[in-house]
Amino acid sequence: MKIETLFPEFCNLFGDISNIKYLKKCLPEAEFIDSPIDQEPAFVKEDVNLIYLGPMTERTQEKVINKLQPYKERIIELINKGTVFLFTGNALEVLGKYIENEDGSKIEGLGIFDVYAKRDMMHRHNSLCIGKFEDIEVVGFKSQFSMMYGNNNNSYFLEVEKGIGINPESKLEGIKDHNFFGTYLTGPILVLNPYFTKKLLKLMGAEDTTLAFEENCIEAYKIRLEEFKRVPYQK
């Protein structure tokens, strides 16, 4: 079992590296690979069970796009063969067509998904979110300067029950393609959502894994879900 974290020295806003810290507790025998931005990612030449990329600053997005561009076809190959990916926060934007700045200039993305992002650096969106993935209710937080646009009707991750999707006019959140999961939700999502984490582990080939602190995590999840449902939604 190999789990790769891309560029952890830069892509760790909102403490989302705790997704990986939690997996280390759940999978103590697994091999965890940190791939800094000045080295070739492990996934280029190796098969890994999970590729994780966390949220980053807007300036770092350009560095990440430039770093991953030579490996675009390899990423597509891995997505199509069912490798598990988890991209959180604005990490998903680097795989879209482009990111548009407020002045209309565009940063070309990898173009793997038919979506694009638009920045509004004077207005940060903060909200709670509840969405449905299959039969699992997923909770998380959104804190972002950009919104995503385009067609994710057939490739969304969550059907939103409370909050916004990829933009305020959408109720479809994130991207799911094969076993690629991309979402603006932070939290960290794996710590907050034990049932989704168990689903992800199953896809990774660790179906019978007992989560770290499983009973406590499930109890906390149920309490948090009810609290989120009671809080009035504000855009």
Residue 232: per-residue pLDDT? 80
Give percent above pLDDT 90 in the chain: 88
Which range has the worst mean pLDDT, 43-57, 117-131, 180-194? 117-131
The predicted model gives 208-231 an average pLDDT of: 95
Which range has the worst mean pLDDT, 49-53, 55-59, 196-200? 55-59
Residue 13: per-residue pLDDT? 83
**Angle at 182 (CA atoms; ends 181, 185), nearest 5 degrees:** 115
Residues 65, 196: contact at Cβ < 8 Å?
no
Residue 192: per-residue pLDDT? 97
Tokens standing for residue 234 = 């504000």
CA 196 to chain centre: 13
pTM (two decimals): 0.95
Q: Domain spans of the chain?
A: 2-230
| Separation of alpha carbons 215 and 131, rounded Å | 22
Residue 46: per-residue pLDDT? 95
Model confidence at 234, pLDDT cuts 50, 70, 90, reads low
Model confidence at 151, pLDDT cuts 50, 70, 90, reads confident
pLDDT one-digit tens code per residue, 60-98: 999 999 999 999 999 999 999 999 999 999 999 999 999
Query: Parallel, antiparallel, or unpaired for β 125-133 and 84-88?
Result: unpaired
One-letter amino acid identity for 146?
Answer: S
> What's the start-to-end Cα distance of the chain, in Å?
41
Does the structure show a pLDDT above 90 at 196?
yes
Does the structure show a pLDDT above 90 at 25?
yes
| Separation of alpha carbons 134 and 112, rounded Å | 24
Residue 106: per-residue pLDDT? 97
Fold of 2-230: Rossmann fold (3.40.50)
Cβ contacts of 156 within 8 Å, gap of 6 or more? 165, 166, 172, 173, 174, 175, 176
Does the structure show a pLDDT above 70 at 235?
no
Give the helix/strand (H/E) hosting 216: helix 214-230
Residue 15: per-residue pLDDT? 84
Residue 233: per-residue pLDDT? 66
Residues 166, 194: contact at Cβ < 8 Å?
no
pLDDT one-digit tens code per residue, 104-131: 999 999 999 999 999 988 888 888 999 9
116-143 core/surface letters (b: 16 or more CB in 10 A; e: else): bbbbeeeeebebbbbbebeeebbbbbbe
Reduced to 3 states (helix: H, G, I; strand: E, B; else coil), residue 181 is: strand
Residue 175: per-residue pLDDT? 97
Cβ contacts of 13 within 8 Å, gap of 6 or more? 54, 55, 56, 57, 89, 186
Residue 100: per-residue pLDDT? 96
Q: What is the DSSP string of 109-167?
A: ----SSEEEEE-TT--EEEEEEEEETTEEEEEEEEESEEEEE--TTS-SEEEEES-SSS
